Structure 1
Amino acid sequence: MAEKITLLETKLQTTENEVLDLRSLIGGKPQVAFSAALRDSGSGNIGPFTTATALQYKKVFSNTGNSYNPSTGIFTALVKGMYFFRFTMFTNFSPPPNSVVSLMKNGQQLVSVWDVATSDTNDTGSNAVVIPLEVGDNVYVKLHENRLVYDDAANYNTFSGFLLFTM
């Protein structure tokens, strides 16, 4: 038992030293940033769904801090602070329902991008916000019910965010 305790104490000390080394590398400041695209392969429409749905951005370009979950499409704040978020939407109307996507914080709509099918078939739009987040707050992009977006290897639909500063 004494041997195991000594081994665990050694591992704990090693871990503490690694944490101190990492803090010195980043200056003790948390680093949070992510960027992702809707599809990691293939092409086609996402939607329409009968209910509003969180878009799952599967192709992750970066995820420093691991706050973005590509399985759910949800960013969860692990640090209290002021954040910047941006998203883009691309539509290829075939069939032609309108496209509406919104940036959501804890289930509340913040900003949206909307497009109506007209004589042109391809449209794109984007929106962005700077918002305060508490630890545990969730941010995601919602595709409204009966709407769709189109994506392919060009990565037209993206979702990105980063911590500006802690509070």
Structure 2
Amino acid sequence: MQTSSFAESTSPLGFIKDLDNYMRVCQKLGCAQKKGCSGAVVAFHAALKSHLRNVPVNTILKFEDVLLNKGNGYDPKTGVFTAPANGIYFFEWTFITTNGSTVYMEAVVDGARKASTCINAQTSRHTSTSGHLLYELKTGNKVWIRTFLVNAGFLYSDKYTFFSGHRVKF
């Protein structure tokens, strides 16, 4: 039994007509891109390359293992995301630490703390925590994750500790 995609089974003119009909439906539902909107995807995901120990207070974490960087907003050399376009952005960071460690992390936008997470003197073998930030950015605004309050005891790498973000609204 041979199967083919819809695009392969219709003529080019028929495909364009069908696509046009789908676009009209999207517009009526309010999910079509509006004129003047920049629809370019902005998204990144990066993890620590190596374990970190005794990370000083106010250290910007550099997530050097970049798995995705659409829009080229994230710089692994500095650990800073720079918004390439206006919009509402969603950021997430997750870290895992080991027994006895204390880690305080914060999401910072242009020098101001906007969200915080912590594990304080944790007692299990491994503990993970995550933080989230939904924030409206203008082109050029900068976002990063840094330690605060006390030196961070220990952070695992191997994709356990990461920083990611994407634009959710243009």
Question: What is the TM-score with the length of structure 1 in the denominator?
Answer: 0.73
Q: d(CA) in 2 for partners of 1:129 and 1:113?
A: 11
Aligned to 1:61: 67
Equivalent of 1:87, from 83, 93, 98? Answer: 93
Alignment of 1:85-124 (within 5 A): 85-93=91-99, 96-124=100-128
Q: 1:28 to 1:45 in 2, by over 3 A?
A: closer
Contact 2:102–2:122, Cα closer than 8 Å, also in 1: no
Aligned to 2:54: 47
Alignment of 1:1-80 (within 5 A): 29-39=39-49, 42=50, 44-49=51-56, 51-80=57-86
Structure 2: state its 5+ residue gaps.
1-36
Q: d(CA) in 1 for partners of 2:164 and 2:138?
A: 18
Aligned-residue offset at 1:97: 4.3
Over aligned residues, Cα RMSD in angstroms? 1.8
Q: d(CA) in 2 for partners of 1:38 and 1:137?
A: 23
Contact 2:41–2:71, Cα closer than 8 Å, also in 1: yes
Q: 1:119 to 1:72 in 2, by over 3 A?
A: same
Aligned-residue offset at 1:63: 0.2
Q: d(CA) in 2 for partners of 1:53 and 1:73?
A: 10
Structure 1: state its 5+ residue gaps.
1-26
Aligned residues, how many? 133
Q: d(CA) in 2 for partners of 1:30 and 1:111?
A: 27
Aligned to 1:146: 151
Question: What is the TM-score with the length of structure 2 in the denominator?
Answer: 0.72
Aligned-residue offset at 1:34: 0.3
Q: d(CA) in 1 for partners of 2:75 and 2:86?
A: 18
Equivalent of 1:133, from 132, 137, 154? Answer: 137
Larger Rg: 2
Q: d(CA) in 1 for partners of 2:88 and 2:123?
A: 41
- Three-state SS of the structure 1 residue aligned to 2:166 is strand
